[in-house]
Structure 1
Amino acid sequence: MAIRQTSVTVPLEGADYGKVFVITRMSAMEADQWGRHCLQAAIASGADIPGLEVDAGLAGLAAVGLGIFGAMDPERMDSLLDRLMRCVSVQPDPRNAAVRRPLDESDLEEIPTVGWLQKEAFALHVDFFKGVGPLFSLLSALLQTEPGAPPPDAPM
């Protein structure tokens, strides 16, 4: 099975409006490592982020969300966001999907486009966890339940 890709077109008003970018998801191993590094950076910052566990990988990152970057040391945040943005390529001619090149900082002219593109790249890597999020919560609760106790979702 091929690694998932998505094409996104900038919807924001301004000089970047209509530009097309292709986001390619990291391999599973790379994405999990990146997710763990994000969680470790946030924990190292000392910020109190409920439910944050250092070894949770990409699933933990999905649960916490994009706001995790605000809890990090700026240098580590920049490094991790740079790594995420390596997944983005530019499609200079929207009519010719076959022509792409790596993203260069000169491709983005508007500051809001940077945040929008980061959000889109982040979403491609973690959105598939949204549907299974309740399962992670239930599994976590089950693992913390005393032996012989009723399951956490049992009626009272």
Structure 2
Amino acid sequence: MAIRQVSVTVPMEGADKGKTFVITRMSAMEADQWGRHCLQAAIASGADIPGLEEDAGLAGLAAVGIGIFGAMDPARMDGLLARLMHCVTVQPDPRNAAVRRPLDESDLEEIPTVGWLQKEAFALHVDFFKGVGPLFSLLSALLHSGTSVPLPDAPISTSDMRW
């Protein structure tokens, strides 16, 4: 199965409107490592971010959201965002999707485009976790509380059922 890619076109007014970029998702191993590094950088900042766990990887990053970068030391934030932006290529001619090149700083003329493109790249890497986020939260709560969850095949007595 190929690594997922999305093409995005700048919707905002300004010099970048209509420019097309292709974002390629990191490999699972690289994305998990990047996610853990993001969480570790936020934790090291001392910011109080609810639900933040150092070893949660990309799933933990998805739960916290892109705002996590605001809690980091600027140098670490810049490095992690630069690593994320390595996933972005430019499609200089929208009529020829086969022609792409690495993103260069000069490709972005408007400041809002930078944040928009970072948000799009972040979303590609974490959006698939949003649907299962409540499941992770429930599982985490059960594991931390010590409550045992019956296996699906476990017999249940009728006295345990509430009618």
TM-score range, shorter chain: over 0.9
Partner of 1:102: 102
TM-score by length of 2: 0.90
The residue identity in structure 2 corresponding to 1:109 is: E
The residue identity in structure 1 corresponding to 2:108 is: L
CA distance in structure 1 between the partners assigned to 2:62 and 2:2 by the alignment: 22
CA distance in structure 1 between the partners assigned to 2:148 and 2:18 by the alignment: 58
Structure 1: gaps spanning 5 or more residues:
none
Q: Give a deviation string over 1:45-72, Cα, whole Å, max 9, x none.
A: 0000011000000000000000000000
Partner of 2:53: 53
The residue identity in structure 1 corresponding to 2:81 is: L
Q: CA deviation at 1:145?
A: 2.6
The residue identity in structure 2 corresponding to 1:116 is: W
CA distance in structure 2 between the partners assigned to 1:148 and 1:94 by the alignment: 55
Partner of 1:127: 127
Structure 2: gaps spanning 5 or more residues:
151-161
Deviation above 3 Å: which 4+ runs of structure 1? 146-150
CA distance in structure 2 between the partners assigned to 1:62 and 1:29 by the alignment: 16
Give the number of the structure whose alpha-carbon radius of gyration is greater: 2
SS of equivalent residue, structure 2 residue 16: coil
CA RMSD of aligned residues (A): 1.4
The residue identity in structure 1 corresponding to 2:138 is: L
Contact 2:142 2:148 in 1 (8 A): no
Identity of aligned residues (%): 88
Q: CA deviation at 1:141?
A: 1.3
Q: CA deviation at 1:149?
A: 8.7
TM-score by length of 1: 0.94
CA distance in structure 2 between the partners assigned to 1:17 and 1:147 by the alignment: 53
Partner of 2:136: 136
